[in-house]
């Protein structure tokens, strides 16, 4: 597997983002999935998948606490690109048990509570979405945070037992924004209101000038600003 990953990284480094996605979908004729949070990176990847008509399953996680603007963008994206987006929800019984035991805003009280909420609302649904997949495409970029600076284009995800591919890894924020403008790609209107990174509504705020782009996520705690979806990658750095 190490040799295969090394070969993938060498090949992907020589291609542009659209070519990377096409190459992966050709190499793995089934079992390629893409998780979109409807962020700007993910909207670019959705554009490439739809534009090239790639056989990639697109899915998203509905935590039950997203911004209305995020739901509006999901509708707009499906209508624009005519591609299905599978939606995975958290287990209702687990959400009910957590909220009944700790209250609806327990995530503000401790990092442990916040991680529990993220696990129930995000990680467990992600595990179901990735079951049986061979390749997981993400919108991670190296400059998004310190935790992601040393990520490769392709890596073995031991937790989910699949290959994880980051086709926009080397894209800068300026390059991404310029591409979105050039191709008229729909994006979340909250980005124009100071929200560079958007998650659940209670856990996301606008950032101040000069703040890190992920400073608005779980702003009340001094953590690594990760929810656990990409935990295995963070641990490698």
Q: Name the active-site residue from 117, 200, 203, 227.
A: 227
Instruction: Report long-range pairs for 222-230 (Cβ below 8 Å, ≥24 apart).
Output: 223/111, 224/145, 224/147, 225/145, 225/147, 226/147, 227/115, 227/118, 227/122, 227/123, 227/199, 228/115, 228/118, 228/119, 228/122, 228/123, 229/35, 229/122, 229/123, 229/126, 230/138, 230/140
| Higher-pLDDT residue of 210, 179 | 179
- Express each pLDDT in 10-24 by its tens digit: 999 999 999 999 999
Return the residue matching tokens 């990176």. 41
Residue 33 pLDDT: 98
177, exposed or middle or buried, with CB in 10 Å at 0-12, 13-18, 19+? Answer: middle
pLDDT band at 228 (very low <50, low <70, confident <90, very high): low
Residue 175 pLDDT: 97
Does the pLDDT at position 151 exceed 80?
Answer: yes
Which residue from 5, 56, 32, 11 is spatially nearest to 158, judged by alpha carbons?
5
Q: Is 227 a residue of the active site?
A: yes
Joined tokens for residue 191: 């980005």
Does the pLDDT at position 236 exceed 70?
Answer: no
Q: Which domains does the chain have, with CATH numbers?
A: 2-235 (3.40.50.620)
- Between strands 85-88 and 135-137, the pairing is unpaired
pLDDT band at 150 (very low <50, low <70, confident <90, very high): confident
Mean predicted confidence (pLDDT) in 170-199: 96
CA gap 198, 119 in Å, rounded? 17
Name the β-bridge partners of 86. Answer: 59
């Amino acid at each position: 597997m190490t040799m295969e990953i090394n070969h993938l990284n060498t090949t992907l480094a020589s291609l542009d983002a659209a070519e990377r996605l096409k190459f992966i979908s050709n190499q793995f004729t089934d079992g390629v999935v893409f998780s979109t949070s409807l962020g700007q990176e993910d909207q670019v990847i959705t554009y490439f998948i739809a534009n090239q008509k790639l056989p990639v399953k697109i899915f998203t996680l509905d935590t039950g606490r997203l911004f209305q603007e995020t739901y509006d963008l999901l509708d707009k994206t499906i209508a624009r690109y005519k591609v299905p987006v599978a939606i995975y929800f958290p287990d209702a019984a687990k959400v009910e048990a957590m909220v009944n035991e700790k209250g609806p805003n327990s995530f503000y009280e401790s990092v442990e509570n916040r991680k529990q909420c993220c696990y129930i609302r995000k990680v467990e649904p992600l595990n179901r979405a990735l079951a049986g997949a061979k390749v997981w495409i993400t919108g991670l970029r190296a400059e998004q945070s310190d935790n992601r600076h040393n990520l490769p284009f392709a890596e073995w995800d031991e937790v989910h037992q699949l290959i994880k591919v980051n086709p926009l890894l080397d894209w800068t924020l300026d390059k991404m924004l310029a591409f979105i403008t050039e191709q008229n790609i729909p994006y979340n209107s909250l980005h124009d209101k100071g929200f560079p990174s958007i998650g659940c509504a209670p856990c996301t705020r606008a950032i101040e000038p000069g703040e890190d782009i992920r400073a608005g996520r779980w702003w009340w705690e001094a953590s690594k600003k990760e929810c656990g979806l990409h935990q295995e990658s963070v641990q490698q750095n």
